[in-house]
Every structure is written in C-alpha cells, then in structure tokens.
Chains A and B, each alone.
Chain A
Amino acid sequence: GAGVSQSPSNKVTEKGKDVELRCDPISGHTALYWYRQSLGQGLEFLIYFQGNSAPDKSGLPSDRFSAERTGGSVSTLTIQRTQQEDSAVYLCASSLVHRDETQYFGPGTRLLVL
C-alpha cells in the first residue's frame, strides 16, 4: 500500500513569509509525528498526534510553529514569519501504535528560507 507522503518536496521562501507543509499518513495509522533535520544535526522531534487526544507539542521550537491534524488523518505543519534558521528537512512519520510501534517516515519537505 501507499506509504507516508509529504508535500511539497521542496519549498523556497523569503524570510518573514508563512509556509504550510502537508503530511498524509498511512491509512489507518492513528499516530502522526513531525520531526526536523537541520544541516549537520540529528533529527529533532517537533510534535505528536495520537487519535483525538491533545497533541504533544513539547518539541516545537517557538510559537511561530503550529500543527493541526484534521479528521485524524492529514496533518499540516505551519511556520509563521519564517527565519533563516528554520531551513531544514521536515519529516513526517506515522504508526499504528497499538499493534505496531514502528514509525514509517515520509520523504520529507526541504525548506529553504532566504
């Protein structure tokens, strides 16, 4: 079946603009995660959605970052007033949680803030 998909694959924006990144998890997966991979650094957890529960936002680096998940499926990560340090690869992952703890990753969105 289809894996996790993300769009756009690449995004170039100007400093100060808002961007939206989209993630389509694997059908039936109740858990969804956003991570960020900055150049030369390891992956950084951002936010976690589990079913209809309140999301775990503990990894969001600032209040310019927000995410929502509509209908328990598609998720959008929004970065407001982008800064150059926001340039990174943003990865989305999903998992079944109860029967399978493996997280399956999408291909990522490469964000470049000029």
Chain B
Amino acid sequence: AQSVTQLDSHVSVSEGTPVLLRCNYSSSYSPSLFWYVQHPNKGLQLLLKYTSAATLVKGINGFEAEFKKSETSFHLTKPSAHMSDAAEYFCVVEGSARQLTFGSGTQLTVLP
C-alpha cells in the first residue's frame, strides 16, 4: 500500500520569490512519483516524474523536485514564482496495477 501527504493545503508567495511545495510519501517498494498541476477549469497536466533514475528531476515551467529516500520526501521547488504558476498542485505516487494515489493538493497563490 502507498500513501501521499501534502503538508500544506495552501501556499502563498510573492512573484519572483522561491516556491516550495512539500510532499511526503510512504510505499512498500521503490515508488514512481509525480507532480501534477491543475489550473482552474482545466485538466491535470504532468509537471515531472521520478522513476528511480536521477534523484533530482527537472520538469516543465522551471519546476524541479528532489527524491530523498531517507526522508521519504519529494518536494517541488521553483526558484522564482510567476503569476501563471497559480494553480493547484498534486503529489502522486504510483501503486500496484498502475494506480495513482493522489495527495490532497496544495493551492498555490502568487501575489503581485
């Protein structure tokens, strides 16, 4: 069984400042981990994925995530927030039968 915990339901940053969205997971084996973003009234979009290759994963729109097995974490970061980054972000772990287990989501607000 696997689970995902997103530690913050809401994160607010100023434009141009760094973004940190926290995610911890539990899994009985080496998991595949993903971050998805959902903009208002739009479908989910894959930001990046970790599949046991490099622990630092680069995604689209300047986002990165680092897999830390010792901390069971997969936090999402971006050096400089943009207004268009405002959205809901989901941390996801892949389980058996290719099922995805989603975290409860983090709503990112970017202030001008």
Residues of A in contact with B (beta carbons under 8 Å apart): 4, 31, 33, 35, 41-45, 48, 50, 56, 59, 91, 93, 95, 97, 101-108
Contact = CB atoms under 8 A, between A and B. Distances in A.
Contacts of A95: 98
Interface in B53-112: 90, 94, 97-105
7 contacts: A41-B104, A43-B100, A93-B44, A101-B94, A105-B45, A106-B43, A108-B43
Contact of B46 (A33, A56, A102, A106): A102
Contact of A48 (B49, B99, B104): B99
A93 B34 CA distance: 14
A42 B103 contact: yes
B51 interface: yes
B104 A56 contact: no
Interface of B: 32, 34, 36, 42-46, 49, 51, 90, 94, 97-105
A43 B90 contact: yes
A56 B99 CA distance: 10
Contacts of A56: 97, 99
Nearest to A97: B98
A33 B43 contact: no
Given A42-B90, A42-B104, A101-B51, A107 B43 contact: yes
Contact of A91 (B32, B43, B51, B101): B43
B43 A43 contact: no
A43 B102 contact: yes
Nearest to B42: A107
A91 B98 contact: no
A48 B96 CA distance: 11
A76 B100 CA distance: 20
A106 B38 CA distance: 11
A14 B32 CA distance: 40
A55 B104 CA distance: 25
